[in-house]
Structure 1
Amino acid sequence: MLFGFVLLFGYAFVVWLVFFKFKWMKFNIAWGVVSVSVGLHLLLIFLLGLRYVAPYATEARLIQHTIQLVPRLPEPTLVTAVLVEANTPVRKGQPLFQFDRRPYQYKVNQLEASLAKARQDVLVMKNDIQINAEKVVKLRSELKYAEYQQKLSAKLAKQGAGPEEDAQKWSAQAAAYAAGVKEAQAEEERARLRYASEVDGVNTTVAAVQAELDQARYYLDNTLMVAPEDGYIINLQVRPGMVAGEVRFGAIASFICDADRYLLANFFQENLKYVKPGQLVEAALDLYPGQIFPGRVEAIWQGSGAGQMLPSGTLPNFSYVPTEVPQGQFAVAIRLDGEDQARFPIGTQGRATIYTNPDSGFVVLRRIGIRAYSWFNWLYPFSG
């Protein structure tokens, strides 16, 4: 910057010597236009220096993460209590809203009873295996007896010592016992399969009921909505008696997180040529007239929606953009210094400047400019 001042004052001194001191040339309108034009071009040195050494953002806003509070319930549920106040800090895990527990408690009770029954049924299936095994043994014994009687009756009937009907009766009885043995064996196998049906060592029926019970307990736990992080709620409209749940679309409140808030400033793309993370930043926030807040560059968002094309069957149509329309900008995330970040609420706006070379003389000019803006906020807007 010193070179620029020397060049500018040197040029002014030469003009003074030529036209006014020694009057080597007559100063007229033409020479006046030329002299002023050359002087204005020399001023471009300061413009270029400020743009690249101390880029300036006229639009900067405080950004905070927000969490949309959506009831995690499977059906519309009555809000029975609001346990938080608007604009009041809350800690992570602190209760916010209480929903009607009764329908979810009833479901848990029902499934707990079903789980107890399913576990009892497993013991019954184990006994069914033993019962069907004993039934097979009994029917096999009766089959052997019927086969013996059939052979004996057939022998007596052949010798004329007994009726043929007895042989036929015992033959039919043996066939019935044989069918009974097969049926009992099938029932035993079915009972064994039902008893042996397991997932990770747990009977499948018991596992299915346990899964339903776990889900019911999950919904019961979610009848109490708690704070996901440290933060607060603005514009609290939830009241006891309202119904929230699956039928309502969207959240019932927005939770503003305290952690990881940052200042997002927009810069012209070419001004970011020498900007890097970690560089010194000064911000003037409209909320605090006359104050300057230091910070550091955290990240440069090298991209914008202007370069995004969504999948479509329509070919891109590029149109002429007038030169007076502002060019695209990139955003820079800035982390402001200070432990008390609560001073910077969400949406706070202002301006910011980045010092790519803090030792440059151009920084002095930018420091004056941003402080002038901050002090001017005492007067503007003129609201009376």
Structure 2
Amino acid sequence: AHAARDQAVAALAQAEAAVEVAKQDLQSVIVGRGTLDAAVEAARAAVRLARIDLDNTRITAPVDGRMGEIGVRLGQYVTAGTQLAAIVPADRWIIANFKETQLSGMRPGQPVSFTVDALPGQSFRGRIERFSPATGSEFAVLKPDNATGNFTKVAQRLPVRIAIDGDQPALDGLAPGLSVVVRVDTEGGAGRG
């Protein structure tokens, strides 16, 4: 009976040791699972980064238009911020720099007529779309400083954006940078710039 009891006590101790080993194995599995979860997340992040890199191999234009001044070749590596090409948008408009003395009576929506030096004999129509929030000199790299020395009053010019009506012949001849003469009928008086 003593031997059987000793054997049962030893079996109990062995079973308790087996439980402790099982608990340690469970803890190892839990730690291992966390490591595997981290490895899965790292793999998902690598896939996302690879997709971003793949998307960066395609360059899309922000607007529809015509390409010009292309300075890149197929297969060339470029860095962020490098100008690759210039795009001329399909929408056309004019920035007319009127003197501040000519702005009286002008408002958005007024009809405008204009001629283009490069297209003699053609007259085009449009409308005032909006006025710049400041004169051109305010946006200049070197701003005039009239606070010192002799001051001579100089009439400033305010950029006015003019939308061009789309149903006109010869619009394809218009290109950025052409010289134009704009006329705005301000209810009987003509402003010219």
- Provide the TM-score with structure 1 as the length reference: 0.39
Matches within 5 A, 1:235-384: 235-240=69-74, 243-246=76-79, 250-259=82-91, 261-304=92-135, 306=137, 318-320=147-149, 322-323=151-152, 326-339=154-167, 341-357=171-187, 360=188, 362-363=189-190
Q: Which has the higher strand share?
A: 2
State whether structure 2 residue 46 is matched by structure 1 residue 212: yes
2:95 alignment partner AA:
L
Report the counterpart of residue 9 of structure 2 in structure 1: 148
CA contact (8 A) 2:119 2:173 kept: no
Cα offsets for 1:58-97 (capped at 9, x unmatched): xxxxxxxxxxxxxxxxxxxxxxxxxxxxxxxxxxxxxxxx
Give the distance between the partners of 2:156 and 2:32, measured in 1 at CA: 69
C-alpha displacement at 1:263, in angstroms? 0.3
Q: Which protein, 1 or 2, shows the higher relative CO under an 8 Å CA cutoff with sep ≥ 6? A: 1
Counterpart in 2 of 1:160? none
Partner residue of 1:62? none
Residues 298/191 of structure 1: CA separation in 2 closer, same or farther (3 Å cut): same
Whether 1:223 aligns to 2:52 is no
Give distance in 1, aligned partners of 2:70 and 2:78.
17
On the 8 A contact 1:258/1:342 being kept in 2, the answer is: no
Give secondary structure in 2 for the equivalent of 1:334: strand
Query: 5+ unaligned residues in a row in structure 1: which ranges?
Result: 1-144, 152-173, 309-315, 371-384
**1:302, 1:224 → 2: CA distance?**
36
Find the residue that maps to 2:161 and give its secondary structure. strand
Sequence identity (%)? 26
Establish whether residue 189 from structure 1 lines up as the match of residue 27 from structure 2: yes
Report the CA distance shift for 1:346/1:317 in structure 2 as closer, same or farther (over 3 A): closer
Taking a change above 3 Å as real, the CA distance of residues 297 and 253 of structure 1, as seen in their structure-2 partners, is same
**2:10 counterpart letter in structure 1:** Q
TM-score by length of 2: 0.71
Shift of 1:186: 4.1
Q: How many residues align?
A: 180
